[in-house]
Amino acid sequence: MKKDQEIFNLIDAEQKRQEEGIELIASENFVSKQVMDAMGSCLTNKYAEGLPFKRYYGGCEIVDQVEDIARERLKELFGAAWANVQPHSGAQANAAVMLAVLKAGDKILGLDLSNGGHLTHGSPVNFSGKIYEACFYTVNNDGLIDMDSVEEIALKEKPQLIICGASAYSRDWDYARFRKIADKVGALLLADISHPSGLIASGLLNNPLPHCHIVTSTTHKTLRGPRGGVIMMGEDFDNPWGLKTPKGVIRKMSAILDSGVFPGTQGGPLEHVIASKAVAFGEALSDDYKTYCEQVIKNAQAMANAFNEKGYDIISGGTDNHLMLIDLRNKNISGKKAENTLGLADITVNKNMVPKDDKSPFVTSGIRVGVAAVTSRGLKESDMQKIVDWIDQVITNPENETLIHSIKRDINAFMKGFKLYA
């Protein structure tokens, strides 16, 4: 068969872009070679609707073992009693949970998107805001979540589901306090830990599993695995609605969540991706991975300090995890302009709304910056200062093409000293 040169040339170009540039997208990371090899394996050929050892297709005896290993490793990693590794993404994990535990029109309470929340936590343009009635909590003037305000809103709105978690919030979460609020209003509590999951698994941030009824995550951010999602519980429990099996047995929440994934929101699971997840979970159980996560936090805090020293407005003033949200209004440049101009220098960030943003989501007043990917390349704290110096030069001289091209050359030469794959 003739090689599809058009596509493989583009893949080679993307490989070059990743190798030569500085990747600061907080949602991205670089997987190991074995994680990538598992994802590109023959398991992509196998259809396997259903759960391990309970499939609707024959020939699943090997992928059953693969998926079971993935579940067991994930449970060990987080101290979970139950896990489903089939969601194709974090968004689909959240969709499966909501389909399983809510009725159309039920009320959900999550962090407002413009304050660092996620689309699937109730945004009106997303399924979560179209099917369910969404209400929101926000951050205060210090950029921190005001838990008294969360409780006040919950008592007023009486949501059926409360969501803690974000896509652009740089501080740790008080899951125990959220659980007290949820219990007060009779709500289920969902933690979406898609961003800090690897740091949580390493014991460096609070673990939601002992406090939240249900936990979802992606696998491709700080967990450093393939693109995908998971659902977990710290303990299984009888569903609160008294739903029963055809034989009259009360259904466990695990069974309800499983059915929310399949047949609720997905067909056959992607067993090649699940194999890749299993490999990544195995890596995350190692001492080397904890050392990596410790370096992620050191790098993020070093970067935040460097930005602060140059007068950048970091929402909440700093970071506890791998990312930071930067309000650029005092630098007289929009998030869109900053993203595009930094891209010319091979520094990749994403524009992001900030609290009380006066610009549209297509322009924004801020950027989101994360260090998980550059840490995977082997960069350390001193390198964060160098990166911030480059970012500052570009942002303060966005029309100086000569300077930007010079910085790009410096960056490309600098990044040659760091391997892309561990």
Active site residues: 47, 49, 192, 218, 221, 227
Contacts of 408 (CB under 8 A, 6+ apart): 344, 345, 346
Look up residue 81 and give its two tokens.
Answer: 């009693």
Instruction: Provide the 10 A C-beta neighbour count for residue 53.
Output: 11
- The span from the CA of 329 to the CA of 366, in Å, is 8
For residues 114 and 111, give the distance between their C-alpha atoms in angstroms, rounded to a whole number: 9
Cα-Cα-Cα-Cα torsion 38, 191, 363, 296, nearest 10 degrees, comes to -60
Tell me the one-letter amino acid at 415.
Answer: M
Residues 6+ apart with CB under 8 A from 156: none
Cα 56 from Cα 53, distance rounded (Å): 10
Helix, strand or coil for residue 370?
strand
Output the CA angle 347-351-353, nearest 5 degrees: 150
What are residue 232's phi and psi, to 5 degrees?
A: -140, 160
Q: Which of 123, 101, 63 is nearest to 264 (CA)?
A: 101
Please report the beta strands in 166-310, taking only residues with DSSP state E, as ranges in sequence order.
188-192, 214-218, 229-233
Strands 350-352 and 347-348, bridge-based pairing: unpaired
- C-beta of residue 116 within 8 angstroms of C-beta of residue 315: yes
Longest dimension (CA), the chain: 74
At how many degrees (to 10) do helices 253-261 and 90-101 cross? 130
Helical (H) or strand (E) element with 171: none
How far CA 203 is from CA of 12, 99, 278, 289, in Å, comes to 37, 31, 20, 11
Q: How far is CA 116 from the centre of its chain?
A: 12
Instruction: Tell me which long-range contacts 7-16 makes (C-beta under 8 A, separation of at least 24).
Output: 15/420
**CA distances for 416 relative to 14, 16, 385, angstroms:** 15, 11, 18
